Amino acid sequence: MNNFVNPLAPRTNRLQAKSAEIKAWVRQLLDLPEDTPVSVVELACRDEGCPDIETVIGIMEPGKPIRTIRIHEAISEVTREAIADSAHEMTAEDVAKGTFKQPRGSI
């Protein structure tokens, strides 16, 4: 895979490429089929003590509640390791609820 990022490319193209990369990492790390919908969005975080920007990853498996991973970084800063750490930190309760978050201070 070519890791070259053209700094002159329009931002939307770079974000689309990074989003596709994040989706691939999520599918690999969680052993999801290729046809499982995964969404990646960058949102302003308004929670107290939360960074200004967070990346929210939605995993939509048929017949299961939507699971979300929240990474307290911009899409462009999300790493495979951050996703792996978040998935590793899941508890049985988090899985049952469908939500798990990256622990604060882990990045």
For residue range 14-41, what is the model confidence (pLDDT) as tens digits? 788 999 999 999 999 999 999 999 999 9
Report yes or no on 74 lying in a domain: yes
With cut-offs at 50, 70 and 90, classify the pLDDT of residue 81.
very high
DSSP secondary structure of the chain: ------TTS-HHHHHHHHHHHHHHHHHHHTT--TTS-EEEEEEE--STT--SEEEEEEE--TTSPPEEEEESS-GGG--HHHHHHHHHT--HHHHHHTEEEPPTT--
Domain span including residue 57: 11-101
Number of domains within the chain: 1
Q: Which residue has the higher pLDDT, 20 or 102?
A: 20
Record the tokens describing residue 46, joined without a space: 């308004």
The Cα–Cα gap between 56 and 50 comes to 13
